[in-house]
């Protein structure tokens, strides 16, 4: 690009806020279940998880949705864990349906954390979600089934993708997880930037500049590997702790961003530079690595951060799912 063209690009960028600039390179996804936030920032897709749905369900604005999920399932069986699970499934889908009235793209709906090591149960839960969406007029092309990136979860994704059910592989903290997901042709992965940073800050007691952020570097490594070797799985950075992390990943396939950080991007008109691109990724000096179950388990076990953060993430999501069921049981 000539110097004049680059200057023109910079001037043009100055008329756009950073959120608008980011959209030129990256699909912007909202990490929330709150409709007002979605309407404010107009993301293309939206992601949810048990923690976000719990926060939303407790708000008065969503009381009618919660009551509908309870009423629709009240006659489906006796009170107990099975009934609460059905109510939660329907509530997640009802949120998803409402979200899809606002966003033009896809919504991610998360499988139960306590199924993270059960391939068949994950497949069954995905089928239930897809059926619930279908019953409400939503095609599977607008839904991503979120599954934790355990080996069992990756095996479930392999089976589901062959059926045309697209998966969002979450709680992903390492290159071995990303490679295994790409090999089974998962539609999308969500590497967790902020939680990687949290681990390294706790271990070292030091802060990291965005360009040196271990979470940012992990996503860059995964993105470059995928583009260099032609993997079609989408890379969507997630779990950000600050705006600097987002700026360092401009150009990533997608980024799912919290309402607070979306607001920070929207209120700033400084120039945003593209940091990732397929062209530069293809020039990366990376060796191809084949992953099977034994190699996956060994390499993952050797990564203390990834091992600890995956286990912690599953526990946190499960704890919030339990709280959501308790909240619904009290209403029921």
What is the residue-wise DSSP string for 135-159? HTT--GGGEEEEEE-SHHHHHHHHH
Do residues 38 and 103 touch, judged by C-beta distance below 8 A? Answer: yes
Pairing of strands 27-31, 45-47: parallel
pLDDT value of residue 3:
41
Domain span at residue 265 reads 41-331
CATH label of the domain that carries residue 327: 3.20.20.70
In a domain, 18, yes or no: no
> What is the Cα–Cα distance from 152 to 117, expressed in whole angstroms?
5
Residue 146 in domain: yes
7 within some domain? no
**pLDDT recorded at residue 64:** 87
Residue 195 and residue 149 in contact, taking contact as beta carbons nearer than 8 Å: no
The count of structural domains within the chain is: 1
Each of the 332 residues of the chain gets a pLDDT tens digit; together they read: 444 344 344 445 458 999 999 999 999 999 998 888 999 999 999 988 878 888 888 888 888 888 889 888 877 766 788 899 999 999 999 999 999 999 999 999 999 999 999 999 999 999 999 999 999 999 999 999 999 999 999 999 999 999 999 999 999 999 999 999 999 999 999 999 999 999 999 999 999 999 999 999 999 999 999 999 999 999 999 999 999 999 999 999 999 999 999 999 999 999 999 999 999 999 999 999 999 999 999 999 999 999 999 999 999 999 999 998 998 888 76
What is the per-residue pLDDT for 14?
A: 53
Query: What is the C-alpha R_g of the chain?
Result: 20
Cβ atoms of residues 161 and 181 within 8 Å: no
Residue 158 lies in a domain: yes
Q: Is residue 70 part of a domain?
A: yes
Catalytic residue numbers read 146
Q: At 221, list the tokens.
A: 């490594």
Residue 79: both structure tokens together: 């009170």
H helix intervals, the chain: 3-14, 18-23, 35-41, 50-57, 63-73, 81-100, 119-135, 151-162, 175-183, 193-204, 214-228, 243-248, 259-266, 278-281, 293-302, 304-331
Partners of 238 in the beta sheet?
192
Q: For residues 42 and 29, what is the distance between their CA atoms, to the nearest angstrom?
A: 9
pLDDT value at residue 18: 97
Q: Would 233 be classed as within a structural domain?
A: yes
């Amino acid at each position: 690009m000539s110097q004049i063209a680059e200057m023109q690009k910079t001037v043009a960028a100055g008329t756009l806020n950073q959120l608008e600039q980011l959209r030129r390179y990256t699909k912007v996804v909202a990490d929330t279940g709150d409709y007002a936030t979605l309407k404010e920032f107009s993301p293309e897709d939206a992601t949810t998880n048990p923690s976000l749905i719990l926060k939303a369900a407790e708000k008065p604005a969503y009381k009618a949705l919660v009551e509908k999920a309870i009423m629709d399932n009240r006659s489906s069986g006796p009170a107990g864990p099975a009934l609460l699970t059905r109510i939660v499934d329907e509530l997640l889908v009802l949120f998803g349906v409402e979200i899809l009235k606002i966003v033009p793209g896809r919504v991610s709906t998360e499988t139960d954390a306590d199924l993270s090591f059960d391939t068949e149960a994950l497949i069954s839960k995905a089928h239930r979600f897809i059926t619930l969406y279908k019953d409400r007029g939503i095609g599977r092309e607008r839904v991503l089934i979120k599954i934790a990136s355990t080996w069992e979860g990756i095996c479930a994704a392999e089976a589901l993708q062959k059926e045309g059910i697209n998966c969002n592989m979450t709680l992903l903290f390492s290159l071995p997880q990303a490679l295994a997901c790409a090999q089974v042709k998962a539609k999308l992965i969500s590497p967790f930037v902020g939680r990687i940073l949290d681990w390294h800050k706790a271990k070292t007691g030091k802060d990291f500049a965005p360009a040196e952020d271990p979470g940012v570097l992990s996503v860059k490594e995964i993105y470059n590997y995928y583009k260099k070797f032609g993997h079609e799985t989408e890379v969507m950075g997630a779990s950000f702790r600050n705006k600097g992390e987002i700026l360092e990943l401009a150009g990533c396939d997608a980024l799912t961003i919290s309402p607070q950080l979306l607001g920070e991007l929207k209120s700033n008109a400084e120039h945003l530079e593209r940091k990732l691109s397929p062209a530069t990724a293809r020039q990366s000096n990376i060796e191809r690595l084949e992953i099977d179950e034994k190699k996956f388990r060994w390499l993952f076990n050797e990564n203390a951060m990834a091992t600890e953060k995956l286990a912690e993430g599953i526990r946190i999501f499960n704890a919030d799912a339990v709280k959501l069921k308790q909240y619904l049981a009290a209403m029921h």
